[in-house]
Amino acid sequence: MNHKKKLVLVGNGMAGIRTLEHLLKIAPGIYDITVFGAEPHPNYNRIMLSSVLAGGAGLQDIVINDWSWYEENHIRLFTGDPVTEIDTDKQQVTSRSGVCVPYDLLLLATGSNAFILPLSGANKEGVIGFRDIRDCETMMETAKTHKKAAVIGGGLLGLEAARGLLNLGMDVTVIHIHEHIMDRQLDEAASLMLRRELEEQGMNFLVNKRTAAITGRRRVEGLKFADGSELEADLIVMAVGITPDIELAVSAGIPVNRGIIVNDYMETGIPGIYAVGECAEHRGITYGLVAPLYEQGGVLAQRLAGMETPGYRGSVISTRLKVSGVDVFSAGCYKDEPGTRSLRYQDEIGGVYKKIVIKEEKLIGAVLFGDTSDGAKLFSLIKSGESIVGREKELLLGFHPGQSEANGSIMLEQMPDDEIVCGCNGVSKGDIGEAVAAGCRSLGEIKACTKASASCGGCKPLVEGLLQLYTGAETGELVKEGICGCTTLDREAIIGSIREMGLKSVKEVMNVLSWSEPEGCTKCRPALNYYLGMVWPLDYEDEKESRFTNERYHANIQKDGTYSVVPRIYGGVTSPADLKKIAAVAEKYNVPLVKFTGGQRLDLLGVKKEDLPGIWSELDMPSGHAYGKTLRTVKTCVGNTFCRFGTQDAMGMGIRLEKAFERMNAPAKVKLAVSGCPRNCAEATIKDLGVVAIDGGWGIYVGGNGGIKVRASELLCTVKTEDEVMEWTGAYLQYYREQANWGERTAHWVERVGLEAIKQALANAETRQELVSRIEETLSATTDPWREIIHDKELLKNFVQLPELNSVTE
């Protein structure tokens, strides 16, 4: 018989679920837990909505706890079904769909709603807030058919929405009621620097503007301002603030003011009912930043676990942000007031601004722009209230004047273990230390283990510093995260910058992102070429000079300097006509050797470079891409067409797959196979993706490798039809294309991210269709490269003069 107390959480957002995470960690299994969420999603990171809007992340990328987390912790979850009634006498809640659940303890984490200005016309189509996934989807859909967007509100939320809309191709104007944008986080100097940066990115600003009305009939057509001026707009995003969602509490008779009133233990005015997060009002204050909400959740978890706790005493606010690629930090009282002194450092060329505010020998506020690496140190001093006499310039500059550089590790050593390093995810210095002790040795591993730097990325320098501190003596140096020696930027940072800044060429990426080597190297140039093509499949023109020699010449260079030519033979199935054509070319050009490959094709070996154009022209066959980071072969057996053991048409399935995905550029080479029965004659279970026929369907296996380190593939899914094979294969390959590192084979990628994570990412049919649409869009823009060359006389003439780009890895 189950005697556990029943705990019901209303709200599936960051604050409420964070409370449960703490509770499950310190007192697992003491409650029977039920969670109700208004949105049809698992718990996700709302801070990352701007990345979703900007196209840098999908829903699967911002999920904090996926469906399996609830199952593993035995939590009943109702999504898309908000609680509509609380009966405090019977101690039960009722959802919109009629689900009735009793409780012993009730936790309200209903969050907040976007504040919609009470303007004439605010109810028109095209007026939205920016608060959840649905708002992002509305903006993305609108951008397909409309081009003029207005964002009311020049705070952080408004600028994030504007950046995302700009990336969607809209003409964006930000309207702000005050003179300086982000005036709640930045002083005048930092605000002006930020505005100039954003204007260069394409944003327009109207400041000191008060909106009077929204014009249009059924749909918005524009804005009217109090000064009589007007602005055309067919999408209006309200980003002027949030209001705590207290409607449910009010209807249940729970005491409220602006928010649900709570004491230091997050208890409401009714015994057994608690509130946490943006809906809660503590000592007259409601908080909208995530760090205070996580602090509240930690206190409440201890209370629910029966532990002693001093309670929640309120939070000193700090903000570490990345606004459109610009790092910003502010904390405490950062504006000049009577009785305060301030020190400033401003570098207009380098885009760096620093300011500290001092009162009675104590640091009370700070603003950092462009370089936020000292933010945590300054915030710690603001909270501690210790004297900083004699250290003012050192704190401003990050090192003592007259010294080459302060020892950053000393500063990090002095940081208390409970100091929050990652405000987005509530990760402390101590959490980083525990992760390193558990074996994490790179930023990626720290990110996967603790979620530190996994959201806005503003804390990345601090996390890297702590990683160096904890591993320096042991490993000698921090594991570098850059894709090569030319840059310290990793894959995610580079792709994010390409999307956010609209970078469209390898040279532009290198210049804008400050490559240490202006021409790049054999590692980064091909990688950037791939990333640009992946991000901009229809707009990017492939740069031949950034491809390896093999890919430029569409043939494999051999040890004697000659080349190997492999025409495509779909599924290993050829015809007498094609065989004659290959034979005739081999005779005419005195090809020394013609060999059958392991991928069921014919390889013409020993070809001279100057003969390549003529050979390809006379073959008039697609390239088999035996040289590139692309789809190589689809190996097949004869299947049920001839074999008495075959259960499905393996040749037909293989040819369909090969014709669908030929010319697909990828982070590394990709090999497929189709076996007509479980006897697996086509060796499908050691391929990047293998399809094995079974009675009444197909099994799809992924992550195999038959190379130096043999790896058996794992079952991704079982499907019934060939169309389903195509859908799952397209979705899987596109997900790999978008998520893997350059040069990373699927076997290594699957090992790194885990098959379950991939299954979860592809579980939703709508997500699979989106991935398939993207790979189809990419493939629609590609043609067989030799067909371009043999029909372009100028290119053909200059072909053999292309500069070499060789690599030991090609």
Residue list for the binding site: 637, 643, 677, 681
Instruction: Look up residue 384 and give its two tokens.
Output: 């501690």
- Binding site for siroheme, residues? 681
CA nearest to 691, candidates 705, 682, 701: 701
Rounded Cα–Cα distance for residues 452 and 207 (Å): 35
- Is the separation of the CB atoms in 520 and 510 below 8 Å? yes
CA nearest to 65, candidates 45, 51, 82: 45
HSE (CB half, 13 Å, CA atoms) of 520? 22
CA nearest to 211, candidates 176, 181, 235: 176
Rounded Cα–Cα distance for residues 105 and 20 (Å): 13
Query: Exposed, middle or buried by CB within 10 Å (0-12, 13-18, 19+), for 795?
Result: middle
Q: Render 68-109 in DSSP notation, one character per residue.
A: HHHHHTT-EEE-S--EEEEETTTTEEEETT--EEE-SEEEE-
Rounded Cα–Cα distance for residues 35 and 82 (Å): 10
Rounded Cα–Cα distance for residues 165 and 153 (Å): 14
- Is the separation of the CB atoms in 296 and 167 below 8 Å? no
- Is the separation of the CB atoms in 710 and 700 below 8 Å? no
Rounded Cα–Cα distance for residues 52 and 59 (Å): 7
In the chain, count of helices (H) and strands (E)?
Answer: 28, 38
Residue listed under structure tokens 């320096």: 472
DSSP 476: S
With residues binned 3-state (H G I as helix, E B as strand, rest as coil), the percentages for the chain, rounded to 5, are 35, 25, 40
Rounded Cα–Cα distance for residues 643 and 693 (Å): 13
Report the amino acid identity of residue 631: L
- Binding site for [4Fe-4S] cluster, residues? 637, 643, 677, 681
- Is the separation of the CB atoms in 466 and 421 below 8 Å? yes
Enumerate residues 6+ apart whose C-beta is below 8 A from 20: 9, 33, 35, 73, 75, 301
CA nearest to 281, candidates 297, 258, 311, 309: 258
Enumerate residues 6+ apart whose C-beta is below 8 A from 107: 7, 8, 9, 10, 16, 19, 273, 274, 275, 276, 300
Rounded Cα–Cα distance for residues 521 and 532 (Å): 16
CA nearest to 726, candidates 747, 698, 746, 705: 698
Point out which residues pair with 603 in neighbouring strands: 595
Rounded Cα–Cα distance for residues 735 and 731 (Å): 6
Q: Render 168-220 in DSSP notation, one character per residue.
A: TT-EEEEEESSSSTTTTT--HHHHHHHHHHHHHHT-EEEES--EEEEEESSBE
Q: Render 619-683 in DSSP notation, one character per residue.
A: H---B--TTSSBEEEEEE--GGGT-SS--S-HHHHHHHHHHHHTT-B-SS-EEEEEESSTT-TT-
